[in-house]
Every structure is written in structure tokens, then in C-alpha cells.
Structure 1
Amino acid sequence: MISRRLDLSVQYASHADLPARPQIRAWTRAALDVDGPRGGQITVRFVDAEEGQQLNRDYRGKDYATNVLSFPYDAEPVVRGDLLVCAPVVEREAAEQGKPLEAHYAHLIVHGVLHLQGYDHELGAEHARVMEDHERRILTALGYADPYSADQE
């Protein structure tokens, strides 16, 4: 029997307007169950731009802060990994794209948890389509708008 237990650690290293643990748990759980019920041991850490840039540079060779970084450790029998969410980047993107901040955080947590399970939009158009379809379905079920739609209000 596969465990559905979710051990979730949330770290607030940034002092922005951040989502609460129950929201993060709901978003993580929804993304974990995309291929059927499964458990996880996941840490979500909210960071500032400086830490986000350093980690993106050190682990991806890209010298800028990005919205979310995923560090998968294992996908079976449960998902194990870390997500680093750069709060200033998420806030800026939400404002630029005219999206509610909560919805953008939900999208990026779902997106990151899918990465932890092996989904990767950078492997080509078909992989991106599959991942985006999962994101749309999960976020709609959670009550959020299509994150890829121009109409976010």
C-alpha cells in the first residue's frame, strides 16, 4: 500500500505577504495526487531575491533570481524534495501579469511539486503541454483561474 502521508515543512526566510501553511499543504497535496494518491516529504522555503539568485546561480548556472526552484531527491515510493520560492519574484510577476498573488503562489507550488515528480516542461513541447494540462486541471479543482490564460481576475 502506498502511503498518502505528507510530511510538509514550510520555512519563511522572506518576510513578504506569504501564503499560510494550510494553503501550501492543500496546493502540495493536490499536485502530489496528480497521478493517483501518493505521499511526500517536502520542504517549501520562501526566500528573498539575494538567496534566490545565489541558489539559481549555484545550481542552474543562471545568475538571477527565479520564481521557483525544485530539488527532487526521490519520487518513489513517496516524493521527496525541496522547493525554493523567491517571494519578491513571485510578487513582481503577479503584479506584471495582473494575477492575484495567492493564485500565482498556488500555481508555482503546484508547478514545483510536479517538477519533484519528474515532470519537466523544458524537455520539449509535448512535455510542456502535459505539465501545463496538469497545472490547469489541479488549479481549476482548487478554485483558481487557468494560470496560462490572459484573463486572471
Structure 2
Amino acid sequence: MPPEIIVGNNQSRTEIPEAWLTLLEKGGALAAAEILARHVAAEDAPLHDHECIEVALVDNETSARVHEQFMGIEGETDVITFHHGEIVIGVEVAFRQAAENGEPPLRELFRYIVHGLLHLAGHEDEEATDRERMEAAQEPLVARLWPELG
């Protein structure tokens, strides 16, 4: 059974309607189910072990603090995934990227949830070949599930 997805809006700079949060939770659960069925990259992937995944939507300052504290990298980022089942998403980064790429902001937030879930399924993206493999799993999922959410 796929994990439940809980999305918490932990920032106030960018308005996110409650209905969006519900859609993100629904979409995350759909993505988790498909990832478990088709895209698990490692048998010992932590996604198998979680009944619930928490997604924290945060501002740039929080994103930068978490990024530096846990990854040793300065500056805000889009997504940080923790194996204990938390995905931290920089909302301001997501909205900026959405505008630059002509994407709806919610779709970009959903992409980041899928990205985090893929990390929990054992995918990595530090090396170019790993990044390509991860995108090859991520983008078709976003494209297929988005119409149900958008």
C-alpha cells in the first residue's frame, strides 16, 4: 500500500490555497503508488517502509538553512529529501522555476514531490547519468498524473 502524503504549508510569503494542498496530497499519493509499482531503484529504498510521507513547503530562508545544515551547501534549493520520510520544498524556488519554464506553479510543486518520492525509492541525481535516469522516471509521471490534478 502506498504511503499517505501530508503536505504542510510552513511558509507565508507565497499564497497557496487550501485546495492546492489537497490536490498535492492526492497527486503525491498517486505518484507514490506508481513509483512503488514501477520505479523503485533499490530494494532497500526507504519508500517501502513509510506509511506516511510529510511534505514541508518552506520559504527561501528555511530552505537555505536546511540546505546548509544537512547538505553543507549554502543557498536555498528546490527539494531536499530525508530518508525518514520528509520532503522539504522551497516554494519560492518552485514558483520562480515555474515562471521561468512557463509551468503552472502547482505542477512545479507536484514535480518536486515526485522528485522527492523518487529519491525515497532509491534514485540519485548527483551524477549526470543518474540525473538522466531519474528524469526519465520523473517527467512521464508528472505528465501522466498532472491532468488528474490540474
TM-score (norm 1): 0.76
Q: What secondary structure does 1:94 align onto?
A: helix
Equivalent residue number for residue 141 of structure 2: 138
Spell out structure 1 runs of 4+ moving beyond 4 A: none
Equivalent residue number for residue 56 of structure 2: 45
Q: What secondary structure does 1:143 align onto?
A: helix
Aligned residues of 1:72 and 1:117 also touching (Cα < 8 A): no
TM-superposition CA deviations, 1:86-145 (whole Å, max 9, x none): 1111111111222221211111111111111111121441x222211111221121136x
1: distance between equivalents of 2:2 and 2:139? Answer: 24
1:56-67 pair list within 5 angstroms = 56-67=67-78
Following TM superposition, by how much is the alpha carbon of 1:5 offset from its aligned partner in structure 2, in angstroms? Answer: 4.8
Aligned residues of 2:7 and 2:25 also touching (Cα < 8 A): no
Closer/same/farther in 2, CA of residues 10 and 102 from structure 1, 3 Å limit = closer
Closer/same/farther in 2, CA of residues 5 and 115 from structure 1, 3 Å limit = closer
1: distance between equivalents of 2:75 and 2:137? Answer: 27
Following TM superposition, by how much is the alpha carbon of 1:57 offset from its aligned partner in structure 2, in angstroms? Answer: 0.4
Equivalent residue number for residue 8 of structure 1: 5
Equivalent residue number for residue 43 of structure 2: none
1:1-153 pair list within 5 angstroms = 4-15=1-12, 16-18=14-16, 20-32=20-32, 33-36=34-37, 40-73=51-84, 81-125=85-129, 127-143=130-146
Aligned residues of 2:2 and 2:29 also touching (Cα < 8 A): no
Following TM superposition, by how much is the alpha carbon of 1:23 offset from its aligned partner in structure 2, in angstroms? Answer: 1.5
What letter corresponds to residue 135 of structure 1 in structure 2?
Q
Structure 1 alignment gaps of length 5 or more:
74-80, 145-153
Pairs aligned (count)? 133
TM-superposition CA deviations, 1:61-96 (whole Å, max 9, x none): 1110101111112xxxxxxx1011111111111112
Aligned residues of 2:6 and 2:54 also touching (Cα < 8 A): yes
The alignment's C-alpha RMSD in Å is 2.1
Structure 2 alignment gaps of length 5 or more:
39-47
TM-score (norm 2): 0.78
Closer/same/farther in 2, CA of residues 56 and 133 from structure 1, 3 Å limit = same
